[in-house]
Amino acid sequence: MNKKSMLTVAGLGLAQLMISQLANAQNQDSLQLKDVVISATKNDQKQSQTGKVVTIISREVLERSNGKSLPELISEQAGIIVAGSSSNPGLNKSVFFRGAGSAYAVVLIDGIVQNDPSGNGGAFDLRLISIDQIDHIEILRGGQSTIYGSDAVAGVINIITKKGGPKGNTIYGVASAGSYETYKGTIGLNGGVEGFSYNINYTHAKTDGISEAATPVGSTATFDKDGFKTDALNANFGIKLDNHFSVNPFVRYYYGNYKFDGGAFTDANNYSILKNFAAGTNARYEFATGKVTLNYSFENTRNDAHSQYPSINEGRVSLLDLFYNQKLGNKLDLLVGIDNRVMKLSSATNKPETNIFAAYGSLFLHDLSIFNLEVGGRYNKHEQYGENYTYSVTPSINIIKEIKLFGTVSTAFKVPTLNMLFGQFGANLGLKPEKSQNYEAGVNFSFADDKFSLRIAGYKRDLTDAILYAYPNGYINQVSQKTKGFEVEPAVKFSVFNINGYYAYVEGNEFNFVDNAVADYLFRRPKHTFGITAGAQATRNLYVSANFRYFGKRTDGNFTTYTVDNLPAYKLLNAYAEYALAKKRVKLFFDAKNILNEKYNEIIGYNSLGFNFNTGVIFNIH
């Protein structure tokens, strides 16, 4: 860090120390894992009542991750690879969930599906939301199309944003600076009065970054750095009209200016402007034994790329999701709902549009002696391809308090994108949805009030009618793909220490454009990955932790030589320290992590550039 950065952080820290005596401590007590309520199932279940494989990234973990981005944090979870998460921050982030491709997982924000119809995959860009704006995260593994429809083939990531408090007003924020001329600042205001709460925050981030391109062997050229500048605004409100009826509108805006190069060994002054706007509401009416929930959102995403091959991609999606929960006694719950999505490709000359309507329902039998069961189904009607159906059956058995067996048999699907149906290159209106048959089983052990826990889960996924681009004919349904694997997740808490680890194995086949055939390997997804995070509350005010991850050998396509190359394994080591001041009203943190340069990793793989440092201050003022 240069002198200017150090002075900036020191000044910020001093300013916060001066006002820290005005702050009140936040309550960070956490519930036991089995008692945490999961909203992503749309039935507010406890983990002990469901057979789904669920991971909760708590508020406490997020508050100790201020030196990280959301893709970095997500990539620390078992079975999830986020390509580019430890590389140049402006690099596109692709989520590979349990060996599936990068567009086979759904991202939710406050339970509402996020989508980008302007892209070929339609996946939500994890760069669009900062950790500073998040309260906690729920991750559901396995096929979830019965509840969330298209794309929920391998899993769901539900991001719960920060909300307003019950009384008074709080100013909060984060200010940090680090290597590569990196600066980040978040300022927020939340609070509430009788019947009204709010949370408004703004985040600005900037970095010079690193070069996206590798310098050719023997060259003495100096390639420029490829950084980014982003601004994000998040606002949500809670309006309680009476004891039964509440309305929760939200608005989000994101702007990003990202630099990128012209190829693996080609420096260039390319850049792209990414803009995302989303607005909508959640409304809920509760009565004695049930509730009605309405989710509505409108989202517009525009990516304007300036390069040798300029392009503008813009898409819009409107989502309406109405569902009803009813308790049928103490042990049986009913969920029924309808879902309508309108997607439009605004950047195309003909502005194509499609619509998918769905009706779904689930029954939840819970705490019947040692048995829990969820059974659900979904009907979908697409404007182009017609109808399809999905189902899900999820039993679990609590053999004793400390041991639970679980499993799921389900189907899932992914609809063809607007580019595949109407785009300029190889469009095909006859495409069918991609379909998967999913199997999952496992066991969860928990002893000494969750101080010692172990979860083991195995899965198998068979994907049919996979869509591929068959030159020169265009997009077609042709391929069958199979994936299987397992995950082992131990955790230990004792005294002031907590240790969490995982080992994940995955293998499968998929179509690749190098061999132009289905091959018995998965590009960019190693068979073996494992990680461990160890933390300690060293003193009342000092918390320290370290995270180590290993990614095994994998393959990737070299589209210069049109060969399949083997890439070596690599390791990442991160360290974090946090010191609380003024009764934890102000915290200073220091984060150090490996930074990699992918440099178009399909050509030369990952290269470690050493450690990236971030240091800053977190504050709350009441």
* Amino acid occupying residue 8: T
Contact 210, 88 (CB under 8 A): yes
Distance CA 280, CA 195 (A): 20
Helical (H) or strand (E) element with 19: helix 3-19
- Cβ contacts of 621 within 8 Å, gap of 6 or more: 19, 22, 23, 170, 171, 172, 585
Is the pLDDT reported for residue 523 higher than 70? yes
pLDDT tens sequence across 332-382: 999 999 999 999 988 767 889 999 999 999 999 998 889 999 999 999 999
Residues in the chain, overall count: 622
- pLDDT of 35 > 70? The answer is no
Q: Which residue has the tokens 């500048």?
A: 229
For residues 96 and 602, give the distance between their C-alpha atoms in angstroms, rounded to a whole number: 16
- Three-state secondary structure along 329-367? CCCEEEEEEEEEEEEEECCCCCCCEEEEEEEEEEEEEEE
For position 121, what pLDDT does the model report? 67
pTM above 0.95, yes or no: no
Pairing of strands 105-109, 155-161: parallel
pLDDT at 128: 86
Closest CA to 335 of 297, 378, 382: 378
Give tens-digit pLDDT for 84-125.
Answer: 777 776 667 788 899 998 889 999 999 999 888 777 667 788
pLDDT digits (tens, 9 = 90+) for 405-439: 999 999 999 999 998 999 888 899 999 999 999 99
Neighbours of 23 (CB within 10 A): 21
Average pLDDT of the segment spanning 182-199: 92
